[in-house]
Amino acid sequence: MRASGWRWFSGAVRGLGLGLGLGLGACVVDLPDDGPPPSACDDVRCSDNGYCRDGACYCSAGFLGNAYAQHGCQSMNPGSGCTTTCGLNAYCDAGACVCEQGFLAVCGTGDCLALRQLCDGIPDCANGNDEAAQTCAQQKVQQWTLVDDCDDDLDVRWRLWSRDRDWAWPGPEETFVSDGVGLPSHEEIECLQGELVCVGAAAGGLSWGVGLDGRGQCEACCFDCTEEPVDLGAFGCE
């Protein structure tokens, strides 16, 4: 029988021949099992590809970056990362810099700003873009899709350009990259309601839309920013 943290033994002491004169039963106190002492890393959350030691975060071998950001530790292997260093609250994904969840690239510097800092009456960007009227207009999330239909062993690199402001997705130095021949590549952007967005793409010597530099002309390659998805179709070799 077990009650209130005590263990009861019937005749256990007598059986040991200790002659303690405790009668038919004896009791001992159950000492609490506190388990291992708390670790300095118990409440520390480190980056993917990172680890905690003595309460501090570090990137694992072969990775480098901000060990406290979720995607802060990036691979050092050639060809696996971005061609440029990603800014604050951003990380490299499939060769392009993208913002951490809950952040937005609005300053034009490559840094990502927390959504709660947008349009709060306090300029957080050096150029004040986070409080600009065009930024504080109603924003939409729009999905764009294309298919690399040219079997030339080259990925299609592509950007989206705003015709109403100096803006590009994923950025003027980064590009989206197709997922393989015949496979649809999906990308989501946050754009301003009604602004005109144009696609530019290239692979080797081939170019589509307004080009990767956004300077070309192609009315059929431009769409209004809404919540309706844009399907660009197949990009062939011709």
Tell me the three-class secondary structure of the chain, residue by residue. Answer: CEECCEEEEECHHHHCCCCCCCCCEEEEECCCCCCCCCCCCCCCCCCCCEEEECCEEEECCCEEECCCCCCCEEECCCCCCCCCCCCCCEEEECCEEEECCCEECCCCCCCCEEHHHCCCCCCCCCCCHHHCHHHHCCEEEEEEEEEECCCCCCCCEEEEEECCCCCEECCCCCCEECCCECCEEEEEEEEECCCEEEEEEEECCEEEECCCCCCCCCHHHEEECCCCCEEEEEECCC
Does one domain contain both 181 and 220? yes
Mean pLDDT, all residues of the chain: 80
* Residue 30, domain extent: 1-35
Instruction: Check whether residue 72 and residue 158 sit in a common domain.
Output: no
The predicted-structure confidence for 153-166, as pLDDT tens digits, reads as follows: 999 999 999 998 77
Q: Which pTM does this prediction carry?
A: 0.48
Residue 144 and residue 123 share a domain: no
pLDDT band at 17 (very low <50, low <70, confident <90, very high): very low
pLDDT at position 150 over 80: yes
Evaluate whether residue 43 is within a structural domain: no
User: pLDDT tens, 73-95?
Assistant: 777 665 556 766 677 888 777 67
